[in-house]
Amino acid sequence: MSIAEKMASNQKQIAISEFFEKNKHFLGFDTLNRAIITAVKEAVDNSLDACEEARILPDITIEIQRVPKKKDHLILIAKDNGPGIPQKSIENVFGKLLYGSRFHAIRQSRGQQGIGITGVVMYSQLTTGKQTYVKSKISSESTAIEVNLGIDTRKNKAVKFSQERVIWTEEDQIIEHGLMIRTEMKAKFQRGSQSIGQYLKMTSIVNPHANIKFRYVNSDGEIEIDEFWKRATRNLPTPVNSIKPHPHGIHLGQLQRMLKDSEERKLTSFLRQNFSGVSSRAAKEVCTKAGLNDGAKPKLLKTEQINQLLEACSNVKFLPPPTNCLSPIEDLLIKKGLSKTIDSKFVTTLTRSPRVTSGNPYQIEVGLIFGGSIPSDQQVQLLRFANRVPLMYQQGGCLLTQAISSVDWRQYGLEQSGGKGVPKGPATILVHLASTNVQFTSEAKEAVASNEDVLQEIRKALLELGRNLRRHMKKKKKMAKAQEKFDLINDILPAIAEKASSLLNKPIPELSATISKIMNAVIMEQTTTWDKETKTTRIHGILYNYTARPRSYTILMNWPEKQGAIMVDNERGGRKEATGLWAWKIETLQPGERATIEFGLDNLEKGDWTETEVFYRGSAEVIGASKLDEKILEEIKKQGSDNLDEDLGIVNEIDETISNVASRAEIPNVNLNEVQKESFQTTLFGEEEEI
Amino acid sequence: MSRRREDGETKEALHQIVNEMYKKLEKGETPTMTLPVRTKLNIDFDKKLGVYKYGKKKSTRDASSLGSAKNLLRALHMVEFIDEMIDNGKSSTLREMYYISEGWGHGKFSTQNESNNLAEDLEIITSSMREDFRLRPEEDGSRIIGNLTINELNRRGEWMKINARDDVGDSGYGVPYNVEEEKIKLLDHDIDFIMAIETGGMFDRLIENGFDEEFRCGLVHLKGQPARSTRRILKRMNEEWNLPVVVFADGDPWSFRIFGSIAYGAIKTAHISEYLATPSATYLGVTADDIVAYDLPSDDLTNKDIEALKSELSDPRFADGYWQEQITTMLKLGKKAEQQSLAKYGLDFVTDTYLPEKLAELGLA
């Protein structure tokens, strides 16, 4: 080797380790704790993306082992059931920085963040000098390939150290396809809010289709943590389409590159072919405003002219970009994800319609959990996500946090000093931003950058959750009041009668008249419970007439019909009033009499249905039930509306069947009517308007 | 205080409460318990007795809400408990009863304050005293020092003669919770008046300075808001020995209330004011005027203090000119002072200057 060559290779060697060293804060390896989280993150993101593309339901296992007798050395083992990587691609996937196809595609993807698994291999090598073990099996081959990889820092390329074909079995089962990585690195294992456990838990909430296992083995070889977050749905996220860029979201560099690569001969056709939302009228308008000829050859535009073109783009109205490039999680699945990971009493979630800001489609999803085991004297826990990836650092500087802080949560029953900032109380708030282009505050990609449109959109969503929470608390209060009355007549009054009688040596008087006088109301007592034995949700209701007059009612209850629940053991019969609403006629109830309504719901899982709403039709008020609004019911029946529950003001239950969600998920617009109306109008009046 | 009633009478009166509830239940109505309103809005001056007593305003507690229904149930349990004690010749402290209520199911008390209040309610409804119920407080009475002699029945059932100057240590004679005739006889004295003192610090200061001998008085330590037995023994000494009673307290709204309960009767015990109150007692100080006249170190009134003073302005017990003036002066001043602030001028100032001057105003020195 010549001296010059040697020098060149030396330079390169220095350059790569220096690059890593200098940039480790935004590569995610700046602290020992963060290094292991970043490594897990890269592995999990890769697995989820690969499974999604291959349409496989992911089973992911993460294991962390403390290396005995070595300070701050951890082994990471990540395993998935993804498609695997063909033998010839392994070196590229693990050995080249920024390898992948996601770079220029405009669509929602996880992989916008981090430098990929290569960074992990490199960090391992730099801190321990060890190679990374990879085992991969693709379904078209009969054996798996095992490789030990290092990175040749001189050539910036992966080096295979050994390579072998093996039969991969786990627990006597032959693995059809999958990938396993084992790597050792200098890192620190930590618990708490910035830990692997928290990261995986959050990942499982926004990826409810994944099974995620996590195990931590300490330096004595004992398993200290063994967690399993089970999938809540078997529906994979909707496949996302790539879209062309929108003229309002384009940057100079990108525009230059596109012009350089263009094949079109005319500027107008370049604009129409390569961008979304550009009509021929709009294309002409851009050219006029830019002072350019319609027929100018795109390839030959000068920098000056490109600047004029860009300027013109921002002054012309276009049709909004299509939003089917987004894949929201859907509120029902967020609810399931939250319920399974956090024990609580109340969950409310919301997926907003997609919106556009500066040419980029985005969509907001929010969730709020309240009560249960969540401590009430601490700040509310915030779960922030961008494109299904948990954000764990820089909470304070993040747009999602700002949106939460901007809401006055005091009116919804949470504590908050001055009506600003992160509230206090037994709650957890989730915000998910899905977008083709998530703008972060820095390369670390842990905090979303300010954007007024997005902020207002999140606020709107959170206010709705707040209203749901307030409604829930009101209802709870009402129920507590009714419960007090029950305690009074069931426990205290009989005790008074008994004690008074025994002190006076007299017979115990009949209490029904006194009870009617005290209660002077018709009361509905209702419980929804889970029967472990039969795996049935049991609904039990008793209607008491504690008034001096005979009463008759029709009692109605909502039930998750569309979710696929099957009504069983309904001995009172009754009839279907509307989809998801059952009615029972209660014939005359004499003073002091009661009527029981009982039924079970099969085909549901535990936690799917925890609160049943009771309505009544009749003249006198029923404590513990709401009067049915006939007008709304009529509307619902006429339209066959899917939103019965929302219209009736029901908050906490799942109002979609599993199959509905699946079909709905293909069109991410939750509120189809609204969006279609908007786009219909734009064509009707020939106006091109931004949403 | 002693039992003033026959046991049969007490039981009968208690059973009237039970009867009221039972009758309502029999008629299909909501059980009730009727008792006088126990606030300052319902205390009237009894000209014959010279003290404040509950007026005619009644309130009815009924079982229509969970809280008051529980209260009714507790009352029944308490009646049963008292019945049993009377039948078995037992007695218990209020605190013991609170713990015994653990076994009363839904009728259990959640705080001792609740049980104390209910015991008072029953006293008022039945015009009995808690001694009639075989209930006694656990708080002890006060301490007395001075040349006065008392005969007390001790635990062995023997009468014991005690001189509160010669037969006691520095802490003085301890007043038992029962100070009635059957337990304590007032034998003899060689003093000119009784001085009731709010704080222990001042009580000890006067003893150390030999004030009781020099000024021929008996010193009684009130320990803040005085217990029933303290107020009762003050009244007995005042009536039986014909000794004037002066009250020496801090200069703040709460001291005014202490004096009010000694002289006119406390709102909480207005049903037995004639046994507890000493209408001729006078307030010696510290007055609002003293704070200015003696230039005493003082603290600003807190919001609570101001509230208390304002409430006293409309309290019938403080309706006379002297108290209205004292209260408005203190409000205007915005200041309060402790007894011990007199130490600003030295440890002997209180006994050499302040008290002689104040007593001279009253013609007692």
* Topology (CATH level 3) of domain A247-314: Helicase, Ruva Protein; domain 3 (1.10.8)
Contacts across the A-B interface (CB distance below 8 Å) = 74
Between A127 and B141, residue with greater pLDDT: A127
| Residue whose entry in the numeric block shows the structure tokens 């990175």 | A151
**Does the residue B2 lie in any domain?**
no
Same domain, B51 and B199: no
B77 pLDDT more than 90: yes
A427 pLDDT more than 80: yes
Q: Quick: pLDDT tens for A122-150.
A: 889 889 989 999 999 999 988 999 999 88
Contact between A518 and B30 using a beta-carbon 8 Å cutoff: yes
A43 pLDDT more than 70: yes
Mean pLDDT of B167-195: 91
Same domain, B305 and B169: yes
What's the CATH number of domain A512-656, 3.40.640.10, 2.60.40.1170, 3.40.50.720, 1.10.340.30?
Answer: 2.60.40.1170
**Does the residue B304 lie in any domain?**
yes
Amino acid (1-letter code) at residue A328:
P
Between A20 and B331, residue with greater pLDDT: B331
Chain centroid to CA A542: how far? 38
**Does the residue B167 lie in any domain?**
yes
Query: ipTM score of the complex?
Result: 0.76
Q: Residue A40 and residue A187: Cα distance in Å, rounded? A: 12
**Does the residue B316 lie in any domain?**
yes
Residue A537 is inside which H or E element, if any?
strand A536-546
Same domain, B33 and B120: yes
Contact between B66 and A487 using a beta-carbon 8 Å cutoff: yes
Mean pLDDT of A66-83: 93
Mean pLDDT of A325-349: 79
Query: How distant is the Cα of A489 from the closest Cα of chain B, in angstroms?
Result: 9
Q: Is the separation of the CB atoms in A511 and A577 below 8 Å? A: no
Full 3-state SS string of A350-399: EECCCEEECCEEEEEEEEEEECCCCCCCCECEEEEEECCEEECCCCCCCH
Q: Quick: pLDDT tens for A244-302.
A: 888 888 888 888 888 888 888 888 888 888 888 888 888 888 888 888 888 888 888 88
Q: What is the pLDDT of residue A668?
A: 34
B97 pLDDT more than 80: yes
Q: Residue B43 and residue B55: Cα distance in Å, rounded? A: 5
Same domain, B14 and B31: yes
pLDDT-derived band at A647, boundaries 50, 70, 90: very low
As to burial, measured by CB atoms within 10 angstroms (0-12 exposed, 13-18 middle, 19+ buried), residue B25 is buried
A42 pLDDT more than 50: yes
Instruction: Out of B22, B52, B98, B99, pick the active-site residue.
Output: B99
Task: For chain A, list residues whose CB is within 8 angstroms of any CB belonging to chain B.
Answer: 484-485, 487-488, 491-493, 495-497, 499-501, 503-504, 506, 509-514, 517-518
Lookup: tokens for A316: 């012309």
Class of the domain covering A331-472: alpha beta
DSSP secondary structure of A92-114: HHHHSTT-SS-SS-BS--GGGSS
- Identical fold for domains A3-229 and A247-314, yes or no, is no
Cβ neighbours of residue B352 closer than 8 Å, sequence gap 6 or more: none
Q: Is the separation of the CB atoms in B93 and B135 below 8 Å? A: yes
Q: What is the pLDDT of residue A15?
A: 56
Q: What is the pLDDT of residue A61?
A: 96
Q: Residue B83 and residue B15: Cα distance in Å, rounded? A: 9
Q: What is the pLDDT of residue A673?
A: 35
Question: How many CB atoms within 10 Å of residue A573?
Answer: 9
Same domain, B36 and B185: no
Q: Which residues of B touch A487 (CB under 8 A)?
A: 66
Sign of CA dihedral A274, A275, A280, A286: negative
Which of B15, B24, B65 is closest, CB to CB, to A504? B15
pLDDT-derived band at A110, boundaries 50, 70, 90: low
Contact between A511 and B25 using a beta-carbon 8 Å cutoff: yes
Q: What is the pLDDT of residue B327?
A: 94
Q: Quick: pLDDT tens for A444-503.
A: 778 899 999 999 999 999 999 999 898 888 878 877 887 888 888 889 999 999 999 999
Q: Which residues of B touch A514 (CB under 8 A)?
A: 24-25, 28-31
Cβ neighbours of residue A641 closer than 8 Å, sequence gap 6 or more: A635, A647
| Residue whose entry in the numeric block shows the structure tokens 């969970």 | B66
Q: Quick: pLDDT tens for A630-639.
A: 877 776 676 5
Q: What is the pLDDT of residue A640?
A: 52
Same domain, B332 and B201: yes
Strands (E), A264-351: 346-351
Which of B30, B80, B107 is closest, CB to CB, to A503? B80
Mean residue pLDDT across chain A = 82
Q: Residue B31 and residue A500: Cα distance in Å, rounded? A: 10
| Residue whose entry in the numeric block shows the structure tokens 């380790």 | A17
**Does the residue B301 lie in any domain?**
yes
Amino acid (1-letter code) at residue A468:
N
Q: Residue A434 and residue A352: Cα distance in Å, rounded? A: 11
DSSP secondary structure of A403-439: HHHTS-GGGGT-B-GGG-SS-BSSEEEEEEEEESSPP
Q: What is the pLDDT of residue A671?
A: 35
Q: What is the pLDDT of residue A323?
A: 78
Q: Which residues of A38-64 are buried (b: 16+ CB within 10 A; e: fewer)?
A: bbbbbbbbbbbbbbbeeebebbbbbbb
Same domain, B252 and B275: yes
Mean pLDDT of B25-50: 87
Which of A492, A497, A511 is closest, CB to CB, to B66? A492
Which of A678, A658, A657 is CA-nearest to residue A669?
A678
pLDDT-derived band at A93, boundaries 50, 70, 90: confident
Helix, strand, coil content of chain A in percent (nearest 5) = 35, 25, 40
pLDDT-derived band at A203, boundaries 50, 70, 90: very high
What's the CATH number of domain A3-229, 3.90.220.20, 3.30.565.10, 2.40.50.140, 2.160.20.80?
Answer: 3.30.565.10
User: Beta strand A521-531 with A622-623: parallel, antiparallel or unpaired?
Assistant: parallel
| Residue whose entry in the numeric block shows the structure tokens 């004011």 | B273
Same domain, B329 and B354: yes
Q: Which residues of A touch B30 (CB under 8 A)?
A: 514, 517-518
Lookup: tokens for B304: 């609570």
**Does the residue B172 lie in any domain?**
yes
User: Beta strand B217-221 with A626-627: parallel, antiparallel or unpaired?
Assistant: unpaired
Same domain, B261 and B345: yes
Q: Any idea which of A6-10, A572-576, B193-197 has the lowest mean pLDDT?
A: A6-10
Q: Residue A13 and residue A356: Cα distance in Å, rounded? A: 44
Q: Residue A328 and residue A433: Cα distance in Å, rounded? A: 9
A326 pLDDT more than 80: yes
Q: Which of B95, B116, B136 is the last residue of a domain?
A: B136
Query: How distant is the Cα of A511 from the closest Cα of chain B, in angstroms?
Result: 7
Q: What CATH number is given to the structural domain containing B43? A: 1.10.10.10
**Does the residue B32 lie in any domain?**
yes
Residue A636 is inside which H or E element, if any?
helix A630-639
Q: Is the separation of the CB atoms in A367 and A426 below 8 Å? A: no
Which of A444, A429, A64 is CA-nearest to residue A218?
A64
Q: What is the pLDDT of residue A384?
A: 94
Between A579 and A179, residue with greater pLDDT: A179
- What is residue A498's three-state secondary structure? helix
Q: Is the separation of the CB atoms in A236 and A209 below 8 Å? A: yes
Counting Cα atoms < 13 Å in the Cβ hemisphere of A464 gives: 19
Same domain, B341 and B223: yes
Contact between B80 and A493 using a beta-carbon 8 Å cutoff: no
Which of A488, A501, A514 is closest, CB to CB, to B66? A488
A641 pLDDT more than 70: no
Q: What is the percentage of chain A residues whose pLDDT exceeds 90?
A: 31
Q: Which of B81, B113, B136 is the last residue of a domain?
A: B136
What are the extents of the domains in chain A? 3-229, 247-314, 331-472, 512-656
Predicted TM-score (pTM) of the model is: 0.65
Cβ neighbours of residue B303 closer than 8 Å, sequence gap 6 or more: none
pLDDT-derived band at A376, boundaries 50, 70, 90: confident
Closest-CA residue of A relative to B23 is A509
Same domain, B147 and B129: no
A230 pLDDT more than 70: yes
Q: What is the pLDDT of residue A16?
A: 63
How many distinct structural domains can be found in chain B? 2
Q: Quick: pLDDT tens for A496-522.
A: 999 999 999 999 998 888 888 888 888
Q: Residue A228 and residue A80: Cα distance in Å, rounded? A: 14
Q: Structural domain of residue B53, as residue ranges?
A: 7-136
Q: What is the percentage of chain B residues whose pLDDT exceeds 70?
A: 98
Q: What is the pLDDT of residue A5?
A: 58
**Torsion angle in degrees (nearest 10) through CA of B11, B12, B16, B22:** 80
Q: Residue A476 and residue A470: Cα distance in Å, rounded? A: 10
A209 pLDDT more than 50: yes
Q: What is the percentage of chain A residues whose pLDDT exceeds 70?
A: 85
Q: Is the separation of the CB atoms in A76 and A43 below 8 Å? A: yes
Which of A577, A535, A530, A587 is CA-nearest to residue A557?
A577
A216 pLDDT more than 50: yes
**Does the residue B1 lie in any domain?**
no
A97 pLDDT more than 80: no
Same domain, B226 and B211: yes
Q: Which of B77, B104, B136 is the last residue of a domain?
A: B136
Which range scores top for mean pLDDT: B2-6, B35-39, B295-299?
Answer: B295-299
Q: Is the separation of the CB atoms in A462 and A469 below 8 Å? A: no
Respond yes or no: is residue B99 known to be catalytic. yes
CA–CA distance from A517 to each of A340, B64, B65, B75, B76 (Å)?
45, 9, 12, 22, 21
Q: What CATH number is given to the structural domain containing B185? A: 3.40.1360.10
A532 pLDDT more than 50: yes
A354 pLDDT more than 90: no
Lookup: tokens for A162: 């050994």
